[in-house]
Each structure stands twice: as structure tokens, then as C-alpha cells.
Amino acid sequence: FFPVCIPRANRRVCAVMSGLIRQLRPLARVVASRRYSSVQAAANSSYTQSVQQYPATQVTTLPNGLRVATEQTPHKTATIGLYIDAGSRFEDASNNGTAHFLEHMAFKGTAKRSQHQLELEVEDLGAHLNAYTSREHTVYYAKCFSKDAEKAVDILADILQNSTFSANQVETERSVILREMQDVNNQPAEVVFDHLHATAFQGTPLGRTILGPEENIRSITRDHLKAFVQQHYTAPRIVLAAAGGVNHDDLVRMATARFSGLAQGDASPPAAPCPFTGSEVRVRDDSLPEAHIALAVEGAGWDHPDYYPLMVLSMIVGNWDRATGGGQNLGSKLARSVSNNHLAHSYMSFNTSYSDTGLWGAYAVCDRNTIEDFVYELQQEWMHLCTGVSEGEVSRARNKLRASLLFSLDGTTQVCDAIGSQMLNVGRRIHPAELEARIASIDVSSVKDVANRYIYDKCLAVAAVGPIEQLTDYNRMRSGMLWLRV
């Protein structure tokens, strides 16, 4: 620029200045690099400090075995939940669907409160009352103002111990659940994952659906519900968890006053083993616009040392939806290939864990003409994880996993759910600092090792629904789970 801006007579000065600038450029780069490094170090230090300073979880076990776990924060609200180690896995073929039926009956009235009184009391508090059922757990929780914590605990205790299960309400909820089943059956994603469990864990409790078969829903009675509660809703199987503006000692006092009548013994037999079976389920329906497919190998349980490396593997595979775009700029190799070659409408990787087993794989929505190409690219990516994953990919996946775990700490409801679930799954609350240490210890070598033990030359479970004529033959997919090494 100087020759343009400075007269000819001063070109010598210009040349000297240009030379000086060339000499200063490396120094400028060093300064910028050091400044970036110092900023990065400060950010890392701030992140580490914030994780280490996260409040510890206080845990107290009552004489009857019920556990009370809390994390107190300055919030003006609190989430309080009852986490019960009783889901559809603890049912048999004759009563499958009972745990979910109980969830529906929870808010239909107790010996102390009619349904109308219960709903009016919750509404007057400005609180939120809800429940959900999974294959291993049942949860009832309330979100309320901190000052109303004792009232929320009283409502939860009443629901758990004094629900009436009136015949009229049972019949009403039976119709509601049957309509819910129709809605679920119209959602291909839900259907595919139910089929995936049914084939992967065939002949075991994990292979059954949470809602249960229609014939069970039509035959479940008040006696079935009371028998399930009596057998499984015992104090050692329950965690009272809370997060937000709630004092631990106060919650222990509330729990002692309201849950001391729960049975101390555990009448439930231990969960039956659910072995994984490589197999497939194909439900061809050419009337559907897209094919829904899921492929999975056996994963690890919640408390297994390989749980977090498998999470990193899942983050490397990534996910993509054509509504989000990205194309060539995406971090995942599979996402770039799917986007650039129009192989799917969307896909996601998943790592679903249970107490002693799990499913690790991917789910995709494809056009009928691209199914085979997508399956090929997916298996190529899985083999890449076993043989050639890079440090950059692992580092990016670690950061994504860190972010997803920290995002789960936003809000009292998410934290309460994490406390209750971890207390049931691993017997304790895992502090974020420990999670960070586990994630930081995952490197390329450990990722390859876990990938080779869980993916390489392992049998697949496959479930597909829709126009799936072009879905790859199972034996060919099985042969795609290895590369010939020389």
C-alpha cells in the first residue's frame, strides 16, 4: 500500500518500512498466539473451576432403606421427585403394561384427596406435577416454589401410598391408554425402537414394550395395580431426590414423617438377565413415504467403565437432519457424506443403556432408493472407528459430550432427574468433576479399543419399517462388520 500512498521521493522510506513490517510479522504472530493461548488457558481454568465448585450431593438413608438425595442451589424453585426401581423390565408376559398403567392412575385421587382436590391444590400452588415410566424406572415428580416444598412432598407421598385405583377411574384410563397406543403405533420412530428391543432382547423382559400388548391393557384390574405396588414400591427401591432451593435436613425430616410406613423388605426378585441376540425385524409397508431403520450392537450398562467411551463413539458418528444443513462443513464424516450425497432425510446415533446391558447404534429416515447406500456408509464409518479414528475427531467428540452433560445441569428438573437416575443406576450421584475426569481420560487408543470390542465383527440387531425393499440383506450387513486386515 505504501507505494500508492507515498510520493516517489519517499519510496526509500517506504521500502524501509515494508522491510520493518516483514520483520515484525513473525513477532505479531507470536504475540497473537500467546494471547490466544492465555485466553484459552483462562477459559479452561474457568471451566475446570466451575465444574469443581458444583455443589455436592447430600445423601441420607432412612431406617427403612429409602434414600434422600439433594443438591441445594440459590434457586427460588425446586424439583422434587420419587424415583422407583420398577419399570416394564420387572413385569412378566401376563402383567406387561402394569407399571405404565400405574403412572396414569397416579393423579386420579387418593384416600385423602379426590382427583378434583388434587388438581386444585397443585394449581393453587402454581406447581407442576408429572410422571413417566421407562423400562427400568417409574418416576413421579413435582416442580414448585421452594417455600412449597413440604406441600409437594406431602402430595407425592399421598400419591405413592394412598392412591385408590377406583374401578371407574381404571376403566377411564384404560380407554386413554388404548388411544395412546394407537398414537404410538402411528409414529414409525417409536415402532422401530420397540421392534429393535424386541429382536435384540427377544424372549426377555427388555424385549417387551412399556405400554404392554393390547390384550393386557384390556385385562389389567385394580388388583393387578395394587399387587405391583405392594411388590415393587418398597423403601429400598425408592429415591426421594430434590434439586434447587430445598434444604437437605428439611427434606429428610419431611421424608421421615411421610415415608416411614413404606415396607422395608424388597419382595422383588432381581432383574432377570437379558442376553443380546443378533437378529432382524422387517415390517415392509410401501404406503409409507420414507423408510425408518435402526441398526445396533450390544452396548454397556450404566455403571460399566466403557459407558463413556461408547458415548464418545456415538458423538463421533454424530447426527444430521436435512433441515439443519451444514454439508461439507460438518464435523462428522458420516454427516458430510449423507448431506452431500442425499442419502437420508435424517439420522442420529444413540447409546441406550440399562443396568447391565444396552444398545449402541444409529437410527435413520431414508428414501426407499437410498437405504442400501446409507447402510454401507454407516458401516464404513463404524469400521473407521475401529481402525483409523483421529485425535481431532476424538477431541471434538469429547467437547460435544462435555457440552451435552453440562447442558443437562441447566434447571432444577434436569438436575433432579440426573440425581434420581444415577442413585438408582449406579448407587450414587456422580459429581461433574468426576465426569470431566472420565471424559478427559478418553483418548484415541481407548476409543479404538472399545470400538473393536463392541463393534468389530459383532452381530447386529436390525429393525426396519416402511418401504424397505432395498434394505441390505442381513448376512451382507453382518459381513460389513469387519474388514479383512493384512
Q: How, if at all, do strands 128-133 and 279-284 pair?
A: unpaired
Distances 209 to 172, 179, 196, 461, 478 between C-alpha atoms, Å: 21, 16, 11, 17, 26
Exposure of 384 in the CB half-sphere (CA atoms within 13 A): 18
In 31-173 the beta strands, taken as DSSP E runs, fall at: 58-61, 67-72, 77-84, 128-133, 138-145
Which DSSP symbol is given to 146? Answer: G
Reading phi first (left if > 0) and then psi (alpha if -120 to 50, else beta), residue 203 is in left
Q: Write the burial class of residue 272 (CB in 10 Å: 0-12 exposed, 13-18 middle, 19+ buried).
A: exposed
The candidate with the shortest Cα–Cα distance to 163, out of 236, 233, 204, 110, is 110
With contact defined as beta carbons under 8 Å apart, do 433 and 161 qualify? no
CA 146 to chain centre: 27
| Number of CB atoms found within 10 A of residue 176's CB | 10
- Residue 103 annotated to the active site: yes
Which DSSP symbol is given to 87? Answer: S
The candidate with the shortest Cα–Cα distance to 156, out of 51, 248, 83, is 83
- How far apart, in whole angstroms, are the C-alpha atoms of residue 362 and residue 314? 9
Query: Which residues does residue 456 pair with via DSSP β-bridges, in sequence order?
Result: none
The single residue listed with the C-alpha cell 507515498 is 6
- How far apart, in whole angstroms, are the C-alpha atoms of residue 263 and residue 259? 9
Catalytic hit among 103, 280, 377, 381 = 103
Q: How, if at all, do strands 279-284 and 461-466 pair?
A: parallel
| Three-state secondary-structure class, residue 188 | helix
Q: How, if at all, do strands 58-61 and 138-145 pair?
A: unpaired
Residues tagged active-site? 103
